[in-house]
């Protein structure tokens, strides 16, 4: 199976984004934002990530994608969309639909937290709406908040009766045995409908590669969530430490996508 390199896709997105910013108006969003700017002659200061120009903020802070400190933008070519962007201290959902919509999920054999053998695509994703995050049980800094967010998302999805499944894929399959995942799931009181996935290193590596989240060092893994509706072939990415409300909105939209 040949997939376009995630890096290649990412750079295409960046290119598209740049073209949009340079040649307005490219969508309704822009017009709306511009109107707002007219009403507020004192434009707020704008900050942007040197690596991810699509990340905009009105406050100092860090890039939610790479962690770099945001820089003050003085350039006129800067997109006024920034005014709409959420403050980076509480980043909203950053959607990157273009990159993810062409995603193909491989059907690799994996193990769930009870040790049951599953095929990733056909058993967990096929025909469903899913949200996938990437964790490892010995990770201590970002995985607990990521997992806690997922726990809240699961509860809220239940009360809102949104039919979506949660998946947490271990990026450290050699250490994360099904037993470890089971304990981890229990710690965060995960309920049925939330599958923790591990497997052989090579299978999991190929899965991570295909999902565009492969990293050399597990400590570099990004707090990214993949949200998709397989039936509608709709995929999007979101920042994993976004508020549960924002994530629920994205998941609901994905579920309703036709």
Partner 1 sequence: MKRWITLKDFLLVAGLVFFVALVCRPENTVNAQDPLASAERRGKQIYVLGTSASGKDIFAYVGEGSIEVPASTMACASCHGLDGQGKPEGGVSPSNLSWEALTKPYGLAHPDGRRHPAYTERGVELAVTRGTDPGGNRLQNVMPRYQMSKEDLADLIAYIKLLGKDRDPGISETKIVIGGMIPATGGLTEMGQAVKAVTTAYFDDLNSQGGIYNRKVELKFVETADTPVGTRANLERMLKEDQIFAMTGAFMAGSEKEVSSLLAQYEVPSVGPFTLFPQIEYPLNRQVFYLLSGIDGQTRVLANFVAGKPEFKNSSLMVVYPRSDFNRNMLESIKDQSIKAGLKPPTVYEYAPGSFDALAVVKQLNQSDPGKPLFFLGNTEDLLSLLQRAAEANWFPTVVAAGAGVGSQILSAPAGFDHKVFIAFPTSPADQSAEGMKEFRALAEKHKLPSTHLAAQISAFTAAKILTEALKRVGKDASREKLIQTLEGLYEYQTGLTPAITFGPNRRIGAMGSYVVTIDLKQKQFVPASGWINVGK
Which residues make up the interface to partner 1 (CB under 8 A)? Answer: 60-67, 69, 89-90, 138-142, 144-145, 147-149, 151-152, 175, 177, 179-180, 183, 187-188, 219-223, 241, 243-245
Least CB distance from residue 35 to partner 1, whole Å?
28
Q: Where are the beta strands (DSSP E) in 189-242?
A: 194-197, 224-229, 234-239
Nearer to partner 1, 107 or 205 (CB): 205
Nearer to partner 1, 23 or 72 (CB): 72
Whether residue 50 contacts residue 58, with contact meaning beta carbons closer than 8 Å, is answered with no
Least CB distance from residue 243 to partner 1, whole Å?
4
Least CB distance from residue 138 to partner 1, whole Å?
7
Least CB distance from residue 242 to partner 1, whole Å?
8
169: buried, middle or exposed (CB in 10 Å: 19+, 13-18, 0-12)? buried
Nearer to partner 1, 24 or 61 (CB): 61
- Please tell me the distance from the alpha carbon of residue 120 to that of residue 46, in angstroms, as a whole number: 42
Nearer to partner 1, 43 or 148 (CB): 148
- Please tell me the distance from the alpha carbon of residue 119 to that of residue 99, in angstroms, as a whole number: 24
Nearer to partner 1, 198 or 229 (CB): 198
The per-residue DSSP string of 97-123 comes to: HHHHHT------EEE-TT--EEEIIII
Nearer to partner 1, 25 or 67 (CB): 67
Nearer to partner 1, 27 or 179 (CB): 179
Least CB distance from residue 119 to partner 1, whole Å?
21
Longest dimension (CA), the chain: 60
124: buried, middle or exposed (CB in 10 Å: 19+, 13-18, 0-12)? buried
Least CB distance from residue 93 to partner 1, whole Å?
12
Tokens standing for residue 240: 């994993």
Of residues 192, 148, 150, 200, the one with CA closest to residue 174 = 200
239 φ/ψ angles, rounded to the nearest 5 degrees:
-75, 125
- Please tell me the distance from the alpha carbon of residue 237 to that of residue 226, in angstroms, as a whole number: 5
- Please tell me the distance from the alpha carbon of residue 98 to that of residue 222, in angstroms, as a whole number: 19
Least CB distance from residue 38 to partner 1, whole Å?
29
User: Regarding beta strands 165-170 and 56-57, do their DSSP bridges make them parallel or antiparallel, or are they unpaired?
Assistant: unpaired
């Amino acid at each position: 199976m040949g997939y376009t390199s995630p890096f290649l896709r990412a750079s295409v997105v960046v290119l598209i984004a740049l073209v949009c910013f340079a040649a307005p108006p490219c969508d309704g969003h822009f017009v709306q934002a511009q109107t707002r700017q007219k009403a507020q002659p004192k434009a707020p200061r704008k900050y942007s990530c040197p690596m991810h120009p699509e990340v905009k903020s009105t406050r100092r802070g860090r890039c939610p994608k790479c962690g770099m400190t945001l820089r003050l933008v003085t350039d006129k070519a800067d997109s006024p969309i920034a005014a709409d962007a959420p403050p980076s201290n509480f980043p909203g959902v950053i959607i990157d639909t273009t990159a993810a919509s062409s995603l193909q999920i491989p059907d690799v054999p994996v193990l769930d937290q009870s040790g049951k053998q599953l095929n990733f695509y056909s058993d967990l994703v096929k025909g469903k709406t899913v949200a996938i995050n990437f964790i490892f049980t010995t990770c201590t800094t970002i995985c607990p908040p990521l997992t806690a967010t997922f726990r809240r998302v699961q509860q809220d999805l239940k009360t809102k009766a949104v039919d979506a499944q949660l998946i947490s894929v271990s990026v450290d399959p050699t250490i994360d045995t099904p037993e470890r995942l089971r304990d981890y799931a229990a710690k965060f009181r995960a309920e049925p409908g939330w599958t923790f996935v591990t497997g052989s290193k090579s299978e999991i590596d190929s899965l991570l590669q295909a999902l565009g989240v492969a990293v050399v060092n597990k400590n570099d893994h990004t707090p990214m969530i993949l949200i998709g509706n397989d039936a509608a072939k709709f995929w999007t990415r979101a920042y994993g430490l976004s508020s549960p409300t924002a994530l629920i909105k994205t998941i609901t939209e994905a579920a309703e996508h036709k």
